[in-house]
Copies of this chain bind each other. A is one copy, B any other.
Amino acid sequence: MSAVEMPGVLMRVYNLLETYGRLIDEDNLEAWVDLFVEDGHYEIVSRENVEQNLPLSLILCDSKNMIRDRVMSLREANIYNLHRDCHLIGLIRIESEMPLVGSAPYSLFQSTIEGDSRLFSVGRYNFELVEHEGRLAFRKLTVVVDTGAIPTLLATPI
């Protein structure tokens, strides 16, 4: 990767990750889905399983349609699970530019409607991005969570 072009790529990834976290925080999950390409892959795995090379996922959507379906079912279920998200995404690593692969740590806080905030999950986003209609989009996002015990049935995206 050339030192000169690095900031340009980093800036574009920065903007995509900013959008990613904000759309979830704004509960605009329908727009969040559009950050993925049609054959996009969204997966949540525990760090324990990654380190032991276990193929188990907490959540696995291997197409944009599956991601969209998940959001639609959340819309029906979420009446039982009201909360507000706040994503803090850390320093971004660009591992390669072709393909565009990298990662960033995150912390996710949830607040109840009553205003109690707590740490919900920490971990790392591992992403592979592609150009799509003049902007970057997720070809693959694997969320490796350090925090276990995610209620996967009702969970909003991390």
Residues of chain A at the chain B interface (Cβ within 8 Å): 6-8, 10-11, 14, 17-19, 21-22, 25, 46-48, 84, 86-93, 103, 105-107, 109, 111, 113-119, 121-124, 145-149
Chief secondary structure at chain A's binding surface: mixed
Cβ-neighbour of A86 out of B7, B8, B107, B113 (below 8 A): B107
Contact between B91 and A107, CB atoms less than 8 A apart:
no
Cβ-neighbour of A105 out of B21, B113, B124 (below 8 A): B21
Check A115/B149 contact, CB under 8 A, given A87-B105, A123-B86.
yes
Which 8 pairs between the two chains have the least Cβ-Cβ distance? A115-B148, A18-B91, A111-B146, A86-B122, A117-B147, A88-B90, A109-B122, A84-B146
Check A93/B46 contact, CB under 8 A, given A111-B122, A124-B86.
no
A78 to chain B, nearest CB (A): 15
Tell me, in angstroms, the Cα distance from A127 to B148 when the chains sit together. Answer: 34
Contact between A119 and B117, CB atoms less than 8 A apart:
yes
